[in-house]
Chain A
Amino acid sequence: MAHVRTAGPVLVVVAAIFAIWYVAVIPMNIKDAITQAERAGATVSPEGAQARRDMSAIGLAVRNTAVIPATYALDRPRLPAPHQIAAELWDTTIDKKITSKRSLVFHGWVTLSATLLGFAIGTAAGILLAVGIVHSRAMDMSVMPWAIASQTIPILAIAPMVIVVLNSIGVQGLIPKAIISAYLSFFPVVVGMVKGLRTPDAMQMDLLRTYNANRNQTFWRLRLPASLPFLFASLKIAVAAALVGTIVAELPAGGGRGLGGRMLTGSYYGQMIQIWSALVMAALLAAGLVFLISLIERISLRRLGLAS
């Protein structure tokens, strides 16, 4: 029942967003549509691009109602309508062979593989560092302030440099992008994991001491299970950061490969539909990855008895 009650408002909001979108397409595209209609020989008012230049888009739409349907069917619209993006998505995922350079599945896989590799490296390194920090006071005091401070810095800015430098020493393809997404997913994991490994309180630690448990046993039996909720929370942030890292890394990596590459070539050639479909694909990937992690989270926490 709870689901039904919450689904209603969400559906209304989503429908409202689509409605606003469809309305917004008209003023966004009306100038291009009128220009095309005039070239094709239709009568438009006022005539001549010069006369229309300073007119408001809404005014133009009102005076040229006949042209409005054309705003939804432009080849290169300023704002594509949702159904145009859906058609492009269908065309580039289902109709194209996945080995084709025009297939979004191909580009999505290029991005996804770098993201997953980087995410795995970043997470493993982050957990290792967190374990070190929890067990060594010196490491805690030296590294932790920097790990926290680094989160206020726009690390993403180094992406183009890392790509070009690694390229110049002969490292290409997947690895440079994975390094950037690893770097971006690294710090959230460190911060979250340190917090998690420290959650066991003095009472629980004392109990293990009375059991005569050594450091190793304390870690595996108490600290690690206790840290899992924190780990999963930061993994969700980290995987989203890793995807953003890969997409930005694909801008200078060039070749137009990957979703970032699609966006860049789209912006060079004014292909809005291409940018939007790459964006939708990236959103689907992000949502899918976060969903996957929350699924693993729910299953493992339930098996540990940490969640009902």
Chain B
Amino acid sequence: MIYVTLAFLLWAAAWALNVRLANGPHAETRTIRLAVPVLFGLTLLIMWELIVRGLNVPLVILPAPTQIAATFAEQTDILWRDFVQTFIKGALSGYFIGCGAAFLTALLVDRFDFLRQGLLPVGNFVAALPIVGTAPILVMWFGFDWQSKAAVVVVMVFFPMLINTVTGLRETSAMQRDLMHTYGASPWQSLLKLRLPAAMPFIFNGLKISTTLALIGAIVAEFFGSPIVGMGFRISTSVGQLALDMVWAEITVAALAGSLFYGAVALIEKAVTFWHPSQRA
């Protein structure tokens, strides 16, 4: 019981500190802006640990963070192999193929007005559908290994990326396009020097949405069949064995991979679209 009381005392203390920090005179400084969410996250983590210990929650319902960390440290080789199988082979290759194909299709769609009027409503419609549902079909066609996972990822990222790129390519104003015209620029030059740079914020928006979709697609596709390695495979079999510490360790890997992937794309975006108002603040 002591642990549980301690947990709530800690909560009250940390929250009081956060309220003071957030309403204090230095609330706008970088350190405070970083410290407040970190403190909040740490408090939740420690409360989780204390409550699990205090109430003796069995491992098969909720393992404590320290147990998860221990499993994570012990099983790094398995976690690494799963990561390579699911993320590097499945998600990443599918991401590049899907986004690349969508980008090329978008150039084509942009060139022909007919395609834009016909393909874009269809693309918008498909983007709202539960595309993960194609996973069982693609697993049957491409087999259990990473190729089928990459295929699922391709289908999942294609339409969001297509729609964003097409929208971005139409971002330039008539005045800007006229200027290119007076320079005697060919359509190709006008695309490379004006419309593609102007489309970059939209393209990166699509790329960022696709990072999360890629991981989800690769993991969920493994629920429909996989070789005996991979994050989705490990999650579903460890759940079956009630080895929840392993499941949580795998989820930690997924969370880290997801946010690092997103962060990497966001960094590239920062370098490419340095001129955009949203990046200059």
A contact residues vs B (CB 8 Å cutoff): 5-6, 8-14, 17, 78, 136-138, 140-146, 149, 151-154, 156-158, 160-161, 164-165, 168-169, 236, 240, 243-244, 247-248, 251-252, 259, 263-264, 266-267, 270, 272, 275-276, 278-279, 282-283, 286-287, 290
Q: Is B183 an interface residue (CB 8 A)?
A: no
Whether A145 pairs with B37 at a CB distance below 8 angstroms is yes
Chain B residue at minimum C-beta to C-beta distance from A247: B130
Whether B130 pairs with A240 at a CB distance below 8 angstroms is yes
Whether A154 pairs with B254 at a CB distance below 8 angstroms is yes
Q: Is B64 an interface residue (CB 8 A)?
A: no
B15, B119, B134: the one within 8 Å of A279 (CB): B134
Whether B140 pairs with A13 at a CB distance below 8 angstroms is no
Whether A142 pairs with B18 at a CB distance below 8 angstroms is yes
- Complex Cα–Cα for A192 and B240 (A): 37
Whether B133 pairs with A279 at a CB distance below 8 angstroms is yes
- CB contacts (< 8 Å) of B9 on chain A: these are none
Whether A287 pairs with B239 at a CB distance below 8 angstroms is no
- CB contacts (< 8 Å) of B258 on chain A: these are 152-154
CB distance from A108 to the nearest CB of B (A): 12
Whether A161 pairs with B37 at a CB distance below 8 angstroms is no
Chain A residue at minimum C-beta to C-beta distance from B16: A138
Question: Digit string of B134-154 for contact with A (CB within 8 Å is 1, else 0)?
Answer: 111101110000000000000
Whether B22 pairs with A267 at a CB distance below 8 angstroms is no
Could you tell me which residues of chain B, from 177 to 224, have a CB within 8 Å of some CB in chain A?
211-212, 215-216, 219-220, 223-224
Whether A153 pairs with B225 at a CB distance below 8 angstroms is no
A13, A158, A272: the one within 8 Å of B122 (CB): A13
Chain B residue at minimum C-beta to C-beta distance from A278: B133
Whether A279 pairs with B137 at a CB distance below 8 angstroms is yes
Provide a sorted-by-A list of 5 A–B residue pairs whose CB atoms are within 8 angstroms: A156-B216, A160-B247, A164-B242, A275-B137, A287-B125
B contact residues vs A (CB 8 Å cutoff): 15, 18-19, 21-23, 27, 32-33, 36-37, 39-41, 60-62, 114-115, 117-119, 121-122, 125, 128-130, 132-137, 139-141, 211-212, 215-216, 219-220, 223-225, 231-232, 235-236, 239-240, 242, 244, 247-248, 250-251, 254-255, 258-259, 261-263
Whether B140 pairs with A270 at a CB distance below 8 angstroms is yes
| Given A9-B118, A152-B211; 7 other pairs, CB 8 A cutoff | A12-B118, A138-B15, A157-B216, A161-B244, A168-B61, A168-B242, A263-B136
B118, B139, B231, B236: the one within 8 Å of A10 (CB): B118
Whether A151 pairs with B23 at a CB distance below 8 angstroms is no
- CB contacts (< 8 Å) of B125 on chain A: these are 287
- Complex Cα–Cα for A104 and B137 (A): 18
Whether B220 pairs with A248 at a CB distance below 8 angstroms is yes
A151, A168, A244, A251: the one within 8 Å of B223 (CB): A251
CB distance from B44 to the nearest CB of A (A): 9
Whether B62 pairs with A78 at a CB distance below 8 angstroms is no
Chain B residue at minimum C-beta to C-beta distance from A162: B239
Give 4 closest A-B pairs by Cβ, nearest first: A9-B118, A142-B40, A13-B118, A267-B136
B137, B239, B250: the one within 8 Å of A272 (CB): B137
Chain A residue at minimum C-beta to C-beta distance from B23: A137
CB distance from A172 to the nearest CB of B (A): 15
Chain B residue at minimum C-beta to C-beta distance from A151: B212
Whether B18 pairs with A138 at a CB distance below 8 angstroms is yes
- Complex Cα–Cα for A169 and B242 (A): 13
Whether A156 pairs with B220 at a CB distance below 8 angstroms is yes
Chain A residue at minimum C-beta to C-beta distance from B262: A152
- CB contacts (< 8 Å) of A9 on chain B: these are 114-115, 117-118
B121, B133, B212, B219: the one within 8 Å of A152 (CB): B212
CB distance from B227 to the nearest CB of A (A): 16
- Complex Cα–Cα for A48 and B23 (A): 80
- CB contacts (< 8 Å) of A140 on chain B: these are 22
- CB contacts (< 8 Å) of B62 on chain A: these are 165
- CB contacts (< 8 Å) of A236 on chain B: these are 128
Chain A residue at minimum C-beta to C-beta distance from B134: A279
- CB contacts (< 8 Å) of B115 on chain A: these are 9, 13
- CB contacts (< 8 Å) of A276 on chain B: these are 137
Chain A residue at minimum C-beta to C-beta distance from B33: A141
CB distance from A234 to the nearest CB of B (A): 13
Whether B128 pairs with A287 at a CB distance below 8 angstroms is yes
Chain A residue at minimum C-beta to C-beta distance from B41: A146
